[in-house]
Amino acid sequence: MLEDGKTDKIKKTDSDAIDFAERFAGSAMFDKVFREGMGLVEETADYLDGPGRDESRDLDRKASLTYATASMRLTTRLMQVASWLLLQRAVKEGEMTQAQAGDERHRVRLEGIGRGERDEDLRQVPAALGELIERSFRIHERILRIDHQLRSPGYLATAEDNPVEDQIDRLKAAFSSQD
């Protein structure tokens, strides 16, 4: 415990700030996002190489074109997501620093690959492809939010500005005074 009653659970920099980028790569949250994202990449590849190929043969010409466009956008979106995830895993594994990953990040294009498909177009594709597309939107949007936080200048949390820690301290104080 620190002198002011707060616990010092996180290694801080000299400025008493916690670098979100450095902590994120080693977190359980990253592990979950990584498994979900890479699992979706694998599931999509399996679908497109198997059942999706068979389903696309049964589509009319217009729906077939929509299928091809949607699957290409899906693949592009997931490859960019996978690239971002692999950069973060390299940070976690100590293969590169967060700064080096930031330098490489210019090769990963997360912006502009979001919801390009219109709902009426997606109704023309097989339901399984539509579901994979929706899931890809969700993981992509989550990674965009995380990436924005990682790249925001000054996105550092301090012990004094941590609202969660403040609430925990209040709860501890409330329960300890009832003894």
- Identify whether residues 69 and 150 lie together within a single domain: yes
CATH number at residue 146: 1.10.8.930
Does the structure show a pLDDT above 50 at 14?
no
Residues 99 and 178 in one domain: no
The count of structural domains within the chain is 2
Same domain for 178 and 122, yes or no, is no
163 and 152 in a common domain:
no
- Cα 39 to Cα 50, 61, 92, 117, distances in angstroms: 16, 31, 19, 22
Q: What is the pLDDT of residues 156-178, one digit of tens each?
A: 444 445 566 666 766 766 676 55
Query: Percent helix, strand and coil across the chain, each rounded to 5?
Result: 65, 5, 30
What average pLDDT score do residues 27-33 get? 84
What proportion of the chain, given as a percentage, has pLDDT over 90?
A: 39
- 5 and 40 share one domain: no
Whether 12 and 78 map to the same domain: the answer is no
User: How far is 159 from 30, CA to CA, in rounded Å?
Assistant: 22
Together in a domain, 40 and 10: no
Same domain for 82 and 27? yes
What Cα–Cα distance (Å) separates residue 20 from each residue in 24, 36, 103? 6, 21, 17
Q: Residues 42, 1: one domain?
A: no
> Looking at the whole model, is its pTM more than 0.85?
no
Q: Each residue of 83-126: pLDDT tens digit?
A: 999 988 988 888 988 778 877 877 787 776 666 666 667 788 99
Beta strands in the chain (DSSP E): 17-19, 156-158
Mean pLDDT of 50-66: 93
Domain membership of residue 5 as a residue range: 1-16+159-179
Structure tokens at 100: 């080096």
Which contacts of 93-99 are long-range, i.e. CB under 8 A and separated by 24 or more positions?
A: 98/19, 98/21, 98/22, 98/25, 98/150
